[in-house]
Structure 1
Amino acid sequence: MSIRYDGQVAIVTGSGGGLGRCHAIELAKRGAKVVVNDLGGSVDGSGAGSDAAQAVVAEIEAAGGEAMANGANVAKYDEVEAMVKQAVDKWGRVDILVNNAGILRDKSFAKGTLDDFGLVLDVHLMGSVNCTKACWEIMREQAYGRVVVTTSSSGLYGNFGQTNYGTAKMGVIGMMNTLAQEGAKYNIKINALAPTAATRMTEGLMPEEALKLLTPETVTPAVLFMASEDAPTRTVIAAGAGSFAVARIVESAGKWLPEDEQTPEGIAAHWDEIADTAGETQPQMGAEQTVKMVGLAMEGLGIKQD
């Protein structure tokens, strides 16, 4: 089976370099027309310029592909709307959105400023929201869409000095979980990439021999899969150095406590049972938690369930 995107239009944010550049080039190689979006700023989000995006477009065109450069700031919805309109005006549709744009303002929570915190959330979280919102109605009307958000192990598991970044990266998972439900009947699938790659953001964090393995090219296949017709939905794929894994949020089976034990002391006394990993499940929607909790209570109270 060959995965291709002939006749499809893709928008890749932050694609002037690193992972985004690789995503854009590989999508184009497989037939997609690509909007190469990049503000052209530094890793911390300062500055702007179109040279990086233009260079990627030139690379795509030299290989026989079709692309356009766009310098929209993903944190500004009016600029994002204009970018999407530009794509639709030229190519008639938007099939694939890869939310890749990001910045870093790493500091411990004690030392970081709220301004930096807000800026990181604006780019990573609201940038993903803005771009997805601008494409959403188009994808609904054409009954097709593939959206990729970029999460991180820093959001899924935490990483010292990255409270702002981790908060934003976990936020896109909440967005994904709900939009997967809302988009299902319109054939819109949304998934998340948790990448490990040697980019401007990882320089100086790892030994040289490890960085040589962590190329963007070893991550992009996961994006190509998530952007394909037969992609899963509501899935977090971790990728790096040619290895791929699925990350899941699970919930323990839980334990109902009698009324006289529904206390902090009762929770402490039964903690091992409450936190037992045996019987963990992966809920598919928030309501499942409510159904489970009520079911446990009814069972504990001896109330017959229909």
Structure 2
Amino acid sequence: MTGLCTGRVAVVTGAGRGLGRAHALAFAAEGARVVVNDLGVGLDGTGGTAGPAQRVADEIRALGGEAVAHGGDITTDAGAASLVTTALETYGRLDALVNNAGFLRDRMLVNLEEDAWDTVVRVHLKGHFLPLKHAAAHWRAEAKEGRVPEARVINTSSGAGLLGSVGQGNYSAAKAGIIALTLVAAAELGRYGVQVNAIAPAARTRMTERTFAETMTAPEDGGFDAMAPENVSPLVVWLGSVASAGVTGRVFASEGGRITVMEGWRPGPTIDKGARWTPAEAGEATLKLLAAAAAPQPVYGAR
């Protein structure tokens, strides 16, 4: 490894398993000291144990790195505040925040219960907002004292947030919200030395194994495992390092060996009458615009 993050402190939420664990290990391998957060809940968000976070922290230390476990609930203000406090009290600084925690409660819209909506939006969207808020408050205070940080935030969206996903209205809405939150945070926090980006990863985890059941198996011949979560982590570590200076407000898709800059909503074909349309005129004009526009991408996961 190159020591890309030597001297830096990274916080990773949802780091007990899957992508979060891979990110935590990758940061540590590049010299970062890591706060490993995980509530230890099941795939649907029920239960909870400090075991997963502690195991990853122990794994990092066994490999010669530095890590501390944090089992707090980052969807609460107190839990998110204690996450930042843990980094500052343990290592004296905070340089990178990777928001990754989440779980699923999939249902078709007509069967989606209110609690399943609220719970999934809470863990994904609020679980990004609160750690970001408390980390940003620290970095702003540092900047105002003349110690402008080289701080980095990497948020975790999804192809479902970019394109939608059948049976995942709650998850897709939350992941789309994370992209908007990323853009706002990048614009607001740049003056304090904070860069904010988002990734839309595709990898084999507990959350995706059912979605990609036909393509998620690891190769049996020892070849390149395109769906391994470790494939996403190099980009996350680079975004969390000082080497990514100047990169902010971006969304990156990452799958296997492929990295894509997602370009988001941009103005397409347009017509300006210069006056109010009638409904019939608006419809006729819209059909002309659609004929000239690019076809929409299929819903995420569709074949």
Could you say whether these structures have the same fold, taking a TM-score greater than 0.5 normalized by the shorter chain as the test? yes
> Residue 225 of structure 1 aligns with which residue?
238
Q: AA paired with 2:263?
A: R
How large is the RMSD of aligned CA atoms in angstroms? 1.8
1:169 is the counterpart of 2:185: no
- Answer yes or no: is the 8 Å Cα contact 2:18–2:205 preserved in 1: yes
Residue ranges of structure 2 left out of the alignment (5+ in a row): 219-225, 295-303
Which residue number in structure 2 is paired with residue 265 of structure 1? 280
Tell me, yes or no, if the aligned pair for 1:96 and 1:227 is still in contact at 8 Å: yes
Using the alignment, how far apart are the partners of 1:3 and 1:273 within structure 2? 55
Looking at structure 1, the residues matched to 20 and 28 of structure 2 have their Cα atoms a distance apart, in angstroms, of: 12
Identify the structure with bigger relative contact order (alpha carbons < 8 Å, sequence gap 6+).
2
* Residue pairs, 1:133-212, within 5 angstroms: 133-140=133-140, 141=142, 142-144=147-149, 145-207=151-213, 210-212=216-218
Instruction: For 1:163 and 1:207, locate their aligned partners in 2 and report how far apart those are by CA, in whole Å.
Output: 20
Alpha-carbon distance in structure 2 between the residues aligned to 1:33 and 1:263:
62
SS in 2 for 1:202: coil
Q: Deviations over 1:47-75 (max 9, x none)?
A: 11111111111110011110000001111
Q: SS of 2:197's equivalent?
A: strand
Asked if 1:255 corresponds to 2:257, the answer is no
User: Distance between the aligned counterparts of 1:207 and 1:85, measured in 2?
Assistant: 40
Deviation for aligned residue 1:207:
4.3
* Larger radius of gyration between Structure 1 and Structure 2: 1
> Could you list the per-position Cα deviations for residues 68-102 of structure 1 after superposition, in whole angstroms to 9, with x for gaps in the alignment?
00001111111111121121012111110000000
The one-letter code matched in structure 1 to 2:268 is S
Q: For residue 239 of structure 2, what is the amino acid of its counterpart?
A: M
* Identity score, percent: 38
Q: Corresponding residue for 1:303?
A: none
Counterparts in 2 of 1:42-81, with a 5 A limit?
42-81=42-81
Letter of the aligned partner of 2:69 in structure 1? A
Match of 1:259, as an amino acid? A
Residues of 1 paired with 2:157 and 2:47: CA distance?
A: 24
Cα distance in 2 between the residues matched to 1:151 and 1:268: 34
Contact 2:15-2:100 at 8 Å conserved across structures: yes
Deviations 1:250-272 (A, max 9, x none): 22252211325x23322222225
Alignment-derived partner of residue 249 in structure 2: 234
Gaps of 5+ in 1: 279-306
- Shift of the alpha carbon at 1:227? 1.1
Q: Secondary structure at the match of 2:88?
A: helix
Aligned residues: 277
Rounded to whole Å, the distance in 2 between the matches of 1:50 and 1:205 is: 27
